[in-house]
Amino acid sequence: MRVVIAGGHGQIALRLERLLAAGGHEPVGIIRRPEQAADLVAAGAEPLVLDLESASVDEVAGALRGADAAVFAAGAGPGSGVDRKDSVDRAAAVLFADGAEAAGVRRFLVVSSMGADAGHQGDEVFDAYLRAKGAADDAVRAHEGLDWTILRPGMLTNDAGTGLVRLEAHTGRGPVPRDDVAAVLAELLDTPATAGLTLELVAGTVPVSVAAKDIAGN
């Protein structure tokens, strides 16, 4: 599969790119800064420079054309303000979904967040983040031309992955290593019957491949 990943230099994206490359797939990572390209090449991915905060739908569709799947793993990141939560975590995700549909790329994964909700209340930056992610998820789910799966991990850690997770519609809060988030994304790409599902993910006791198959079609 040729898989185009938005936020290609992110911590989860780089892990996913390594997994996909090792599995014989063709990962393509969208990045904003050319100096990030070497890290993607080292991970086995093709770098593609495109700023999703300023790109047009046609430009995004051009980047996605010919792909078998798309993964939105971009984020404004810690330290960013309310404006970039909206321009990246919401607007860029919507743009990427619009571009995927225009390019005819049906399989579409989103790395969202536990607690994402467009109606979330609160005045802190993290509250704005949860609203932005929730609004993006709602917009993606409205795309009839996409076979979407939305993944909402719990608290991300840099602990070594265990390959053991809990992947359900509702898991309750908990931590999960970024290694295991990437592994679940790779498995979801290989499990098309998970299309149409919004899933929460935390560390657990079930092997990644079994967890994805168990939830497929539910």
Tell me how far apart the alpha carbons of residues 105 and 88 are, in angstroms, rounded to a whole number.
Answer: 21
Using alpha carbons, select from 70, 58, 65, 57 the residue that is nearest to residue 29.
70
Is 129 a known active-site residue? Answer: yes
Are 181 and 201 in contact, with CB atoms under 8 Å apart?
yes
Are 171 and 211 in contact, with CB atoms under 8 Å apart?
no
How far is residue 54 from each of residues 35, 40, 49, measured CA to CA in Å? 19, 22, 12
b/e map 33-66, b = 16+ CB within 10 Å: eeeebebbeebbbbbbebebeebebeebbebbee
- Set 72, 96, 129, 148: catalytic member: 129
| Half-sphere exposure (Cβ direction) of 164: Cα atoms closer than 13 Å | 4
Active site residues: 129
